[in-house]
Amino acid sequence: MPLAAGFALVSLPLLYRLFRGPTIADRVLASDAFVLMLANSLAIFSVAYGRSIYLDVPVVMVVLSCISTLVVAKAILEGRL
Amino acid sequence: MIDAIAFAFMLAGLAVCAIGVIGAIRMPDFVNRMHATTIISTLGSILTMIGVALYGFAEGEGGNLAAIDWNYPKSALVIVVCAMVGGAITSHALARACFRRGIIPKNLKVNEMADAPAAPRTEDEP
């Protein structure tokens, strides 16, 4: 449980980069890294509670997190979605 | 025993993720920050998920093999594979899009995409 709280605390500075990134790519990178750290934190939460069924949540988060970045990259490249 | 090893792996994953976050805050350019945040999606996830998978084996410690919870190793494997593959794909797509749209770092020694043809920009008619 302290490890999950540590992950949450360590991922807080990414919000700063998300808030004032100079370009849109910095914001996208910070968002992607934030989702990954949140998935790690949730996996450690499931270990701390001793229930392996909670691991489905970080699995779905990690599998679906790459789609948002790809959509934003396409929007940067083409100017529209 | 296996509990302690799993905890050590998770702690190492937390340390590596902290290094990646520090890089994401302190690095000067967009490409440098991308380099730093890739650490989180590869080594940080790998170390943390090794710890999670070892915790599943810790329940069958002492010869009680029927008590091993296989959900932990399976989910950890899926998370690691998807994080690595998705991280590579998204980094490539984002860097390519930014270079073709002019979001280029200042202190670049070699820019091999300088004379690439401009991307076709498809604007919607107003």
Give me the residue spans of the domains in chain B: 2-100
Contacts of B117 in chain A (CB under 8 A): none
Contacts of A9 in chain B (CB under 8 A): none
Query: Between chain A and chain B, how many beta carbons pairs sit less than 8 Å apart?
Result: 158
pTM of this prediction? 0.87
- A43 Cβ under 8 Å from any chain B Cβ: yes
- A40 Cβ under 8 Å from any chain B Cβ: yes
Note the pLDDT tens digit of each residue in B67-92: 788 888 999 999 999 999 999 999 99
Q: Which domain covers residue A35, as residue numbers?
A: 2-78
Answer for the pair B37, B24: CB distance below 8 angstroms, yes or no: yes
* Cβ–Cβ gap B98/A26 under 8 Å: no
* Cβ–Cβ gap B45/A40 under 8 Å: yes
Note the pLDDT tens digit of each residue in A13-52: 999 989 987 888 899 999 999 999 999 999 999 998 888 8
Answer for the pair A48, A2: CB distance below 8 angstroms, yes or no: no
Q: Which pairs count as long-range contacts for B83-86, CB under 8 Å and 24+ apart, including other chains?
A: B83/A36, B83/A39, B83/A62, B83/B41, B83/B42, B83/B45, B84/B41, B84/B42, B84/B45, B84/B46, B86/A62, B86/A63, B86/A65, B86/A66, B86/B41
